[in-house]
Amino acid sequence: MMSLWRFAVGSILGVTAIASSIARQYVGPGLVNGDTFIHDPTVVKTPEGTYLAAYTGDYVQLKTSTDRTTWRNAGAAFPNGAPWTTPYTGGAKNLWAPDLTYANGQYYLYYSASTFGSSRSAIFFATSRTGASGSWTNHGLVIESHANSNYNAIDPNLIIDAQGRWWLSFGSFWSGIKIVELDRNTGKPINSNNLISIASRPDNGGAVEAPVIIRRGNYYYLWVSFDRCCNGAASTYRIMVGRSTSVTGPYVDKAGKSMMQGGGTQMLASHGSIHGPGHNAVFADGDGDVLVYHYYRNDGVAQLGINLIRYDNGWPVIY
């Protein structure tokens, strides 16, 4: 009887230790306060040293912060509406997955128009000198996909490579993540038919989306989200990464597996009361690279997550 009791207690302690170990492998988000609701965030540091965020919402929503901790709502990028997106949204106000870059003395905003589960989608872009609500000039369609396309034109991300060439990565489900070269003068593809595939999940229902590419040292790092977003606390989103010496790939994970074959090193997943962390962005700040993402609280409300990134042996570590 005593042996059975010891076995039972040992088993319970073992399970508890495993659960505790799993919980400890992911760092919690850093302190944020103020208006902390966000979904699909992107953040840039402004020339004044403050922070501008854009996120999925009515006509692309904006937030600002002076210290990267306290955030306040700053209105819509297009407060008077975005009628040019109606063919893709059916008239809905919700515009998705914006991407912010500051270059050439202005802000570049790439953003998506679609409806949930559809590949009838489009990416547009706009510019602003200030980033403020109502200051954005829309420059029209960048790339689109159709019901019979094998890709989905949402979740854009602009990367400027080591040679100064501009590239846009994008994609969600279907055949995965694509990248296309842009004309830096127009912000639009040089050849929209020349799409290069850089990540896919052929054995997992195609569940990869939200690419972000950054360049650090000799490597380009491709961050993506695996699995399912947008189901509140039941979301299974998780953040993955791979790297390449070329912006167009091939990207591989830490184990050497190609991201075209479902590879990716897991960086952050659900833990404790942090549910479905994903759709991240990365930007440089004075204290290093900063990871921003959304996650869901226990009540299903999306929140802003912020952590720092360091690099160990050429691989990112979230802390």
Report mean pLDDT in 10-residue bins for the chain, 319 residues. 34 37 74 98 98 98 98 98 97 98 98 96 98 98 96 98 98 98 98 97 96 98 98 98 98 98 98 98 98 98 98 97
**What is the total residue count of the chain?**
319
pLDDT score, position 3: 36
For residue 92, the model assigns a pLDDT of 97
pLDDT score of 25: 85
pLDDT for the residue 2: 34
Report angle CA 164, 167, 170 to the nearest 5 degrees: 160
pTM value is 0.92
Strand runs (DSSP E) across 118-259, as ranges? 121-128, 137-145, 157-160, 166-170, 177-183, 188-189, 196-199, 208-216, 219-226, 238-244
| pLDDT of 218 | 96
List phi, psi (to 5°) of 15: -60, -40
User: Which residues are marked as active site?
Assistant: 40, 209
Q: Cβ(269)–Cβ(293) under 8 Å?
A: no
Helices (H) and strands (E) in the chain, counts: 2, 23
pLDDT at 23: 43
pLDDT at 15: 36
> Domains (ranges, CATH) in the chain?
32-318 (2.115.10.20)
- pLDDT for position 22: 43
Q: Beta strands 33-34 and 70-76: pairing type?
A: parallel
